[in-house]
Amino acid sequence: MTDMLDNLNLIKEKDPHGGFEVVASQYQQAQFDATVQNGEHDQRVIANIVIAGMGGSALAALIAKVLLSKEITVPIEIVREYSLPNYVNENSLVIASSYSGNTEETIATFTQAKERGAQMGVLASGGALIDAAKNDGVAHVILPSGVQPRMATLYNLRALFALLENFSVISSEWNQEVASLGQWLESESAQWRPEVPTEENLAKQIALKTPGKIPVFYGGETTAPLAYKLKISWNETAKNVAFCNQLPEFNHNEFMGWTSHPVEKPFAVFDVKSSFENPRVLQRFDVSDRLLSGQRPHAETIQLKGDTLLAQLLWGAILSDFSSTYAAVLNGVDPVPVALIEDLKRELAENPVN
């Protein structure tokens, strides 16, 4: 299989929509000029923040929540469903995130936020949400179109930071730091391109551990968003069932699930670790793997690289897309389209519930 990933002609054949070029150019998203339109607001007190989005459109929100947890003093909740929490009112900031702008769950939350008089923001590449934001005078950022939402994490993060800055929740320093990482991310991404051989290519090495198996990704307090990112990258890009969970919660339930039948389990286990993680969580990773020796496949460590937590999370997000795209090649599937998801959306649109 190593030969497959080092065969450039085969990779080109298995990637007809140019997924690798999209992934390899993601570092450019760090320079995206996230301009807020209709940014005027009445300076009211913001007591809580709700970010509504599904799938890849929720990834930046999950990352931002981790990054901002020790900076801002108001709670952030990520909503991935049709309904907003009952506490949302005029002192809430609700940001609707949908790359297409047509995600029906996110549109539903936008409507509810408007009815409750909340402060509002939108980030999308177009669609019904941008139309509504323009018509209603809602603050919004228009994202560049043409990529899959799971591969637009940096676009989304730049836009989300811009909206939060617009409402005086954070300073401009967050977006400045993202922009400053562009050149470094370019250099790091170059090491994962198809022309780099497997023995020197971490993304290929990760992918090669997963054919015929179900990947399970574990994160800690700081890396849980990346564990989720890896899961959905394997789901959508590699068309492969995958799961994720978070420590320390894992040790209170799922930990026991590995201890029974069968001993030979068709899984590939990965621990996503950061040098900024809670030391006690890092200890739990090691002790858990030792105690499950012989009952669970040995956990491979994905050690994040970077001088800051932001740098590490962005590094890991791009690595996730590279490695899952290689996994798609090994699985013999096109890494870019998600036809079944589009079929589901179409059928739901054609059969609305009255």
What domains can you pick out in the chain, each with its CATH number?
2-17+182-331 (3.40.50.10490), 25-180 (3.40.50.10490)
- One of 252, 261, 347, 350 is an active-site residue; which one? 252
Q: Check 105, 236, 239, 273 and give the catalytic one.
A: 236
- Is it the case that residue 264 has pLDDT exceeding 90? no
Tens of pLDDT, residue by residue over 105-152, are 999 999 999 999 999 999 999 999 999 999 999 999 999 998 988 999
Q: What is the pLDDT, as a whole number, of residue 342?
A: 82
C-alpha R_g of the chain: 20
> Which pLDDT score is estimated for 354?
66
Q: pLDDT tens across 181-227, in order?
A: 999 999 999 999 999 999 999 999 999 999 999 999 999 999 999 99
The separation between the first and the last C-alpha atoms of the chain, rounded to the nearest angstrom, is 51
345 belongs to the catalytic site: yes
What's the pLDDT tens digit per position in 52-106?
Answer: 999 889 999 999 999 999 899 999 999 999 999 999 999 999 999 999 999 999 9
Q: Is 229 marked active-site?
A: no
Tell me what percent of the residues of the chain surpass a pLDDT of 70: 99
Can you give the pLDDT at residue 2?
67
The answer to whether residue 252 is catalytic is: yes
Quick check: 274 and 223 in contact, CB under 8 A? yes
